[in-house]
Amino acid sequence: MPTVLVFPGQGSQKVGMGGAWAAESPAAARTLEEADEVLGEPLSRLIREGPEEDLTLTANTQPAILAVSVAIHRALAERGVDLAPVAVAGHSLGEYSALVAAGALDFATALALVRRRGELMQRAVPPGQGAMAAILGLDREAVSALVADAAAAGDGVVSVANDNSPGQTVIAGDAAAVGRAVALATERGARRATLLPVSAPFHSPLMAPAREGMTPHLAAAEVRDAAVPVVVNVDARAVTRGDELRDALVRQIDSPVRWVESIELAARDFAADTFVEIGPGSVLSGLIRRIVPGVRTVSLGEPAGLEKLALDEPGRV
């Protein structure tokens, strides 16, 4: 069965994530300890115990989700679970986890990069100046039209940030412009249009300072050719060359996450009929089922997910 591994991004975090894997897998436990050593701080304790308000700080959330995702991936290898992916993909931050899984980035390098990425993204826009909102029940074209109208009103920048699934689009930009877009969405028949509890307008042009700040760090990092194709967010295309993967990581910071197109490409070009979510939560699995109805999805945020994988594909596990 052609399988694609997908890795979640910011928003999937919760206190205690990955704990069941660390309790039963030495490889997972060692991965979290390695994260502490690389960052020089007890990230694993924050993941395990919180407090939640500290875990949700962007500079902490990003390395924490990466560490848990890699820990689960290593635990699977330790148990002899050979998923043999035809491709990998990650949602925003999750692209770093995907590159580690594909052998393009070392775990330690990825940790240092996402810590800096989180810091730069947090600092790019002063608190309260930016915002993000989820628009439900309108198609991508309708959302693109309403953000164009909102931006034209002169309240600042607003644009599509995440094209998550049919009928679910996230927008980002200056707070006033996002507020105007939310009002327009409601007027134009959105099922729901609501501001998100985030600290910055991610994946919008306002993240340009973060992109500029990350560029030298990514230029200095070793990004190898990937062992399997990586479907990158910014272009929704499959990439293996290290230089192209590096460029995609730079550009994704202030560009939309083209998740719908990425999953459609994986299902079409790689004939993928199984998507395995590796990391905390199961958000991506729900999105994928809406993008490509009928595909098999398995979430491995908890070890119990292996039972579904075994039932779906006897002999694989």
Q: Where are the beta strands (DSSP E) in the chain?
A: 3-7, 87-90, 130-136, 158-165, 168-174, 192-195, 230-232, 237-239, 274-277, 296-299
- Residue 269: name the closest of 300, 246, 239 by CA: 239
Number of Cα atoms under 13 Å in the Cβ half of residue 52: 7
Residue 189 is which amino acid?
A: G
Q: Which one of 12, 203, 285, 299 is the catalytic residue?
A: 203
184 touches 143 (CB < 8 A):
no
Lateral strand order in the sheet of 237-239: 237-239, 230-232, 87-90, 3-7, 274-277, 296-299
Q: Identify the sign of the CA torsion 200, 201, 203, 207.
A: negative
Assess whether 262 carries a catalytic annotation.
no
Distance CA 151, CA 173 (A): 9
Q: Which one of 12, 92, 165, 255 is the catalytic residue?
A: 92
Instruction: Give the burial class of 315: count Cβ atoms within 10 A of its Cβ; 0-12 exposed, 13-18 middle, 19 or more buried.
Output: exposed
- Residue 194: name the closest of 257, 256, 136, 259 by CA: 136
96 touches 232 (CB < 8 A):
no
2 touches 273 (CB < 8 A):
yes
Helix, strand or coil, per DSSP, at residue 169? strand
Assess whether 203 carries a catalytic annotation.
yes
CB atoms within 10 A of CB 316: 15
Distance CA 251, CA 212 (A): 10
Tell me which residues are annotated as active site: 92, 203
